[in-house]
């Protein structure tokens, strides 16, 4: 039984890094048939596979298309397992408001982060591109968000991140909301400079960063507590 | 405090707390700063001579230990404290001149009208102003004068006083620029393409329509960042910075003019016209116009129509009234360089179906189909220039520009600029490497570097690890250090190529055509003859067409500026291009992400 359980969990994980939705379907069904807790199947199965993907992305063995396909495989598994989640065993990890900053219309990196976060169990509100500070703040307030995620792909537009953190400060929301930033020209150093809590170097790592941010939510916000070097 | 720069040996005074990169910027000493001093590349490294300077944290993270040991430091992190001597990397000094391909020009209607006016009929008893008589005389020759320079009036007055029988008049767009003796020297024009990395200037004989020389120098704004967005970011910091950037490029152009004047024994007065092409940001910085709004969506330019200003207004060291013409922009992100390319290829006047692709940091694409012109641009990043690659470099002597895998002889052949020992891989070398490695199976179609065991046996010794990434050793430098391509480099190249291919996809979609419909595919860019058409076809940067339809046209933006300096029809075409081109917007398209992701693949 336990050997079987391990094999099934491994199969679920493998299906994700092997980018194989059919395999995810097969092992999700086997998990259900074997009576494996759906929460465990997701967290100890599928999510483990996504960690492998994250590591492969770090080494650039995998790239954007593979990340999309991995997420697809994982979501296929999650969709099957979801009805079996116990009512109180929520997979909800936190609420994120995400967008590309004002002046910038690059979407792919931001879309990937949103997809990864959703796949990992976050509730994500994607405000699209060219997003002004008031829109970030309005939505964050409305949804009682844990995290604001900002993306910028240009050295000119990334400066806007500071405008948003300053606005947060001004309206007194900075203590309650964690800020994570990313995008090709952004660095950890820059993230610190604009008053963000964390920097994620790519979409796969963003999940770990976001999880740590939520876990660290008891600490006072506004200083970079979360290391970016995850994964 | 004094900073001495080798190999020149020049010493400049530096205030405390100023970095070596900043000091070089201030003193017009060329030092590339791809990332603009943000500590994200290692292009600005110098060697500290005769002193120990502790490496900064960034030095340690970006430079190898053995390089640190021989005194390499990042100049952006190196503060001048006390007298300091540094040596610039020798390779940062020389650039290659681009190829400029011009069509045959038969009889053209010149931009500068050069006409002789008979003064013998003037009454020396009349009180009619001399200029009125001259205007009348010229209008009988079909030349209308609406304005005149003071220099022209001065010379006219002197000619009359000397009782000269006739004068030679130089007229530009209704402005009488100059009046001179009929037997005077030939007249010249300058055409300039201001690229983000380099500035190219062509000297033209306006009488014979000959191109006498082309010279390329580095754009001194490179010290503020390799891509134009970093220049805008610098301009955003404070208002004076805009004028600093403007001053840099004007100075460089003046220096280039001076070299021509000295080298060719030309009088400044005989240079009577200058035409400038360049992307929207370089264009605005040259004219000293604010670039902040070009730094983000919706990318609003201050001006897009053709500019025409007297040299004196810009501080260009020619006769004060000499017109400096800025070719029009199509939009805030499709610049006068694209207009130049369209002019050079005469795309507007053609009935076939042709596409021109400017491969560079900003991919620009122009397509003509059924007489209609479609344009699109996409930021490709600096990968094609070899920047931000582990062993990348610009195409300078010693750069590997071409790579061929010869399976029969089981040899990897490299070609370097001027056949110097290799020190880095240029953008074209990286494109070749990716194309060849994909062909031979070291890379799969997705761009992933396969496990070494799956490589052809004769290549396995080239397997290498860079950090945690797989890598392929292309060559070794003079000190036997590996020059490699790692998995991350391949990904950077994929991003640049996907951006370009996506722009091509969208213009073709707007025109409703398929690859098979393309009669010609023109490739422009600073690559010259180094870029291998087979390579860019293999990595699917270009649409899937037979190789014989692909043609290199060199620096076509400069060629367009040359034509617009020589011929009125071409100048008018430039104005029409800017007005009539259909701008294709791709970033807001719903399918953009799917298209882009598909274009990352190294196959059609």
According to CATH, the topology of domain A94-218 is Rossmann fold (3.40.50)
Q: Which residues of B touch A60 (CB under 8 A)?
A: 469, 486-488, 490-491
Q: Is residue B99 part of a domain?
A: no
- The answer to whether the Cβ–Cβ distance between A60 and B491 falls below 8 Å is yes
Regarding whether B372 and B389 lie in a shared domain, the answer is no
Regarding whether B421 and B396 lie in a shared domain, the answer is yes
pLDDT digits (tens, 9 = 90+) for A168-218: 999 999 999 999 999 988 999 999 999 999 999 988 889 999 999 999 875
- The answer to whether the Cβ–Cβ distance between A103 and B229 falls below 8 Å is no
pLDDT at A228 over 50: no
Q: How far apart are CA A132 and CA A127, in angstroms?
A: 10
With left for phi above 0 and alpha for psi between -120 and 50, is residue B447 left, alpha or beta? left
CATH of the domain at B510: 3.30.420
Q: Which residues of A touch B597 (CB under 8 A)?
A: 64-65, 68, 108
Preceding peptide of A15 cis, ω within 30°: no
- Closest approach of B241 to chain A, Cα-based (Å): 14
Q: Is residue B541 part of a domain?
A: yes
Regarding whether B175 and B197 lie in a shared domain, the answer is no
- The answer to whether the Cβ–Cβ distance between A156 and B233 falls below 8 Å is yes
Position B34 scores a pLDDT of: 63
The separation between CA B139 and the C-alpha centre of its own chain, rounded to angstroms, equals 41
Cβ–Cβ pairs < 8 A, chains A and B: 80
Q: How far apart are CA B411 and CA B405, in angstroms?
A: 6
- The answer to whether the Cβ–Cβ distance between A108 and B593 falls below 8 Å is yes
**CA distances from residue A109 to A121, A183, A193, A202, A227 in whole angstroms, order as listed:** 19, 7, 21, 8, 20
- Closest approach of A61 to chain B, Cα-based (Å): 5
Spell B196-228 as b/e; 16+ CB within 10 A means b.
Answer: bbbbbbbbbbbeebebeebbbbbbbbbbbbbbb
Q: How far apart are CA B41 and CA B12, in angstroms?
A: 25
Q: Is residue B17 part of a domain?
A: yes
The shares of helix, strand and coil residues in chain A, as percent rounded to the nearest 5, are 55, 10, 35
| CB under 8 A, 24+ apart: contacts of A80-89 | A80/A24, A80/A25, A80/A28, A80/A29, A80/A32, A81/A28, A81/A31, A81/A32, A81/A38, A81/A41, A81/A42, A82/A38, A84/A32, A84/A38, A85/A38, A85/A39, A86/A37, A86/A38, A86/A39, A89/A37, A89/A38, A89/A39
Percent residues over pLDDT 70 in chain A: 90
Q: Does B58 touch chain A (CB under 8 A)?
A: no
Regarding whether B457 and B510 lie in a shared domain, the answer is no
Q: Is residue B507 part of a domain?
A: yes
Q: How far apart are CA B190 and CA B192, in angstroms?
A: 6
- Closest approach of B255 to chain A, Cα-based (Å): 30
- Closest approach of A145 to chain B, Cα-based (Å): 27
Q: Among B180, B198, B229, where does a domain finish?
A: B180
- The answer to whether the Cβ–Cβ distance between A159 and B596 falls below 8 Å is no
Regarding whether B424 and B562 lie in a shared domain, the answer is no
Q: Which residues of chain B carry a pLDDT beneath 50? A: 91-94
pLDDT at A223 over 60: no
Query: Which of A67, A154, A231 to probe by mutation at the B interface, max B CB count within 10 Å?
Result: A154
Which class for B241: exposed (0-12), middle (13-18), buried (19 or more C-beta within 10 A)?
middle
As a whole number, mean pLDDT of residues A60-80 equals: 95
Query: How many domains are contained in chain B?
Result: 5
Q: How far apart are CA B556 and CA B102, in angstroms?
A: 9
Going through B79-158 in order, the beta strands assigned E by DSSP cover: 84-87, 112-118, 147-148
CATH architecture of A2-84: Orthogonal Bundle (1.10)
Q: Among B129, B161, B180, where does a domain finish?
A: B180
- The answer to whether the Cβ–Cβ distance between A65 and B601 falls below 8 Å is yes
Q: Does B592 touch chain A (CB under 8 A)?
A: yes
Position B525 scores a pLDDT of: 80
Tokens 């730094």 belong to residue = B295
- Closest approach of B471 to chain A, Cα-based (Å): 11
Q: Is residue B341 part of a domain?
A: no
Q: Is residue B97 part of a domain?
A: no
- The answer to whether the Cβ–Cβ distance between B229 and A187 falls below 8 Å is no
Query: Which of A63, A186, A231 to probe by mutation at the B interface, max B CB count within 10 Å?
Result: A63
Regarding whether B35 and B22 lie in a shared domain, the answer is yes
Q: Which residues of A touch B297 (CB under 8 A)?
A: 103-105, 129-130
Regarding whether B449 and B580 lie in a shared domain, the answer is no
- The answer to whether the Cβ–Cβ distance between A155 and B600 falls below 8 Å is no
Regarding whether B202 and B244 lie in a shared domain, the answer is yes
Q: How far apart are CA B298 and CA B281, in angstroms?
A: 14
- Closest approach of B27 to chain A, Cα-based (Å): 25
Q: Which residues of B touch A64 (CB under 8 A)?
A: 597, 600
Position B25 scores a pLDDT of: 79
**CA distances from residue B569 to A91, B108, B203, B256, B575 in whole angstroms, order as listed:** 68, 8, 20, 28, 10
Position B128 scores a pLDDT of: 92
- The answer to whether the Cβ–Cβ distance between B296 and A157 falls below 8 Å is yes
Higher-confidence position of A11 and B39: A11
Higher-confidence position of B381 and A44: A44
Q: pLDDT tier at A222 (50, 70, 90 boundaries)?
A: low
pLDDT at A229 over 50: no
Regarding whether B519 and B486 lie in a shared domain, the answer is no
pLDDT at A99 over 60: yes
Q: Is residue B302 part of a domain?
A: yes
Regarding whether B65 and B32 lie in a shared domain, the answer is yes
Position A204 scores a pLDDT of: 83
Q: Which two tokens stand for residue A113?
A: 């982060």
pLDDT at A224 over 60: no
Q: Domain extents for chain A?
A: 2-84, 94-218
- Closest approach of A161 to chain B, Cα-based (Å): 14
Tell me, letter by letter, the H, E, C secondary structure of B395-456. Answer: CCCCEEEEEEEECCCCEEEEEEHHHCCCCEECHHHHHHHHHHHHHHCCECCCCCECCHHHCC
Host domain of residue B433: 383-492
Q: Among B448, B470, B492, where does a domain finish?
A: B492
- The answer to whether the Cβ–Cβ distance between A104 and B297 falls below 8 Å is yes
Regarding whether B122 and B63 lie in a shared domain, the answer is no
Q: Is residue B152 part of a domain?
A: yes
Regarding whether B485 and B528 lie in a shared domain, the answer is no
């Amino acid at each position: 039984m336990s050997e079987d359980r391990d094999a099934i969990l491994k199969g679920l994980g493998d299906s994700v890094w092997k980018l194989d939705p059919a395999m995810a379907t097969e092992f999700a069904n086997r998990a259900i048939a074997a009576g494996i807790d759906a929460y465990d199947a997701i967290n100890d199965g599928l999510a483990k596979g996504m960690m492998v993907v994250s590591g492969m992305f770090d080494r650039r063995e995998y790239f954007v298309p593979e990340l999309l396909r991995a997420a697809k495989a994982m979501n296929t598994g999650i969709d099957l397992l979801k009805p079996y989640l116990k009512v109180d065993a929520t997979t909800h990890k936190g609420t994120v408001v995400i967008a590309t900053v004002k002046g910038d219309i690059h979407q792919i990196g931001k879309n990937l982060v949103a997809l990864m976060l959703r796949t990992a169990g976050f509730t994500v509100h994607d405000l699209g591109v060219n997003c002004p500070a008031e829109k970030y703040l309005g939505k964050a307030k409305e949804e009682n968000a844990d995290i604001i995620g900002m993306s910028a792909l240009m050295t000119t537009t990334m400066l806007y991140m500071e405008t948003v953190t300053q606005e947060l400060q001004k309206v007194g929301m900075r203590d309650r909301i964690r800020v994570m930033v990313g995008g090709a020209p952004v660095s950890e150093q820059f993230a610190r400079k604009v008053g963000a809590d964390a920097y994620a170097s790519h979409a796969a790592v963003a999940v770990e960063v976001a999880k740590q941010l939520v876990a660290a939510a008891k600490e006072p916000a506004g200083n970079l507590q979360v290391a970016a070097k995850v994964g | 405090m004094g900073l001495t720069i080798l190999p020149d040996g020049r010493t400049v005074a530096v205030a405390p707390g100023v970095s070596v990169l900043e000091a070089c910027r201030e003193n017009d000493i060329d030092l590339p700063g791809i990332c603009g001093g943000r500590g994200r590349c290692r292009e600005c490294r110098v060697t500290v001579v005769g002193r120990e300077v502790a490496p900064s944290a960034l030095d340690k993270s970006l430079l190898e230990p053995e390089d640190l040991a021989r005194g390499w430091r990042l100049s952006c992190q190196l503060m001048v404290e006390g007298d300091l001597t540094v040596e610039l990397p020798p390779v940062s000094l020389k650039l290659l001149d681009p190829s400029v391909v011009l069509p045959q020009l038969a009889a053209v209607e010149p931009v500068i009208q050069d006409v002789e006016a008979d003064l013998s009929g003037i009454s020396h008893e009349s009180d009619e102003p001399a200029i009125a008589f001259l205007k009348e005389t010229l209008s009988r020759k079909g030349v209308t004068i609406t304005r005149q320079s003071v220099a022209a009036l001065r010379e006219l007055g002197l000619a009359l006083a000397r009782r000269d029988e006739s004068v030679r008049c130089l007229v530009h767009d209704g402005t009488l620029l100059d009046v001179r003796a009929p037997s005077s020297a030939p007249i010249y024009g300058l055409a300039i393409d201001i690229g983000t990395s380099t500035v190219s200037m062509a000297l033209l004989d306006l009488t014979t329509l000959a191109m006498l020389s082309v010279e390329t120098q580095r754009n001194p704004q490179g010290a503020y960042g390799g891509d134009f967005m970093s220049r805008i970011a610098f301009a955003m910091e404070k208002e004076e910075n805009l004028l600093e950037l403007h001053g840099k490029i004007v100075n460089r152009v003046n220096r280039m003019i001076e070299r021509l004047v000295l080298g060719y024994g030309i009088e400044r007065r005989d240079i009577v016209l200058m035409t400038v092409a360049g992307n929207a940001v370089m264009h605005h910085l040259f004219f000293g116009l604010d670039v902040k709004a070009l730094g983000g969506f919706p990318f609003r330019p201050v001006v897009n129509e053709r500019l025409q200003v007297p040299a004196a207004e810009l501080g260009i060291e020619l006769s004060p009234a000499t017109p400096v013409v800025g070719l029009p922009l199509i939009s805030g992100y499709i610049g006068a360089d694209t207009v130049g390319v369209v002019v050079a290829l005469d795309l507007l006047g053609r009935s076939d179906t042709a596409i021109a692709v400017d491969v560079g940091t900003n991919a620009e694409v122009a397509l003509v189909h059924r007489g209609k012109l479609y344009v699109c641009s996409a930021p490709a990043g600096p990968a094609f220039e070899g920047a931000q690659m582990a062993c990348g470099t610009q195409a300078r002597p010693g750069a590997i520009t071409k790579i061929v895998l010869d399976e029969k002889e089981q040899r990897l052949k490299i070609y370097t600029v001027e056949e110097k020992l290799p020190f880095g891989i240029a953008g074209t070398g990286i494109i070749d490497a990716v194309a060849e490695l994909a062909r031979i199976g070291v890379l799969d179609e997705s761009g992933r570097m396969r496990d070494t065991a799956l490589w052809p046996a004769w290549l396995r010794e080239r397997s290498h690890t860079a950090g945690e990434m797989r890598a392929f050793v292309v060559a070794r430098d003079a000190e036997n250090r590996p020059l490699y391509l790692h998995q991350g480099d391949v990904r950077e190249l994929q991003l640049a190529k996907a951006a370009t291919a996506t722009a091509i996809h969208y213009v073709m979609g707007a025109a409703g055509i398929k690859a098979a419909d393309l009669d010609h595919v023109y490739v422009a860019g600073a690559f010259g003859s180094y870029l291998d058409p087979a390579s860019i076809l293999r990595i699917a940067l270009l649409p899937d067409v037979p190789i014989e339809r692909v043609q290199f046209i060199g620096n076509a933006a400069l060629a367009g500026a040359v034509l617009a300096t020589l011929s009125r029809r071409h100048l008018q075409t430039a104005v029409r291009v800017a007005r009539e081109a259909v701008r294709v917007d791709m970033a807001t398209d719903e399918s953009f992400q799917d298209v882009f992701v598909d274009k990352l693949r190294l196959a059609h």
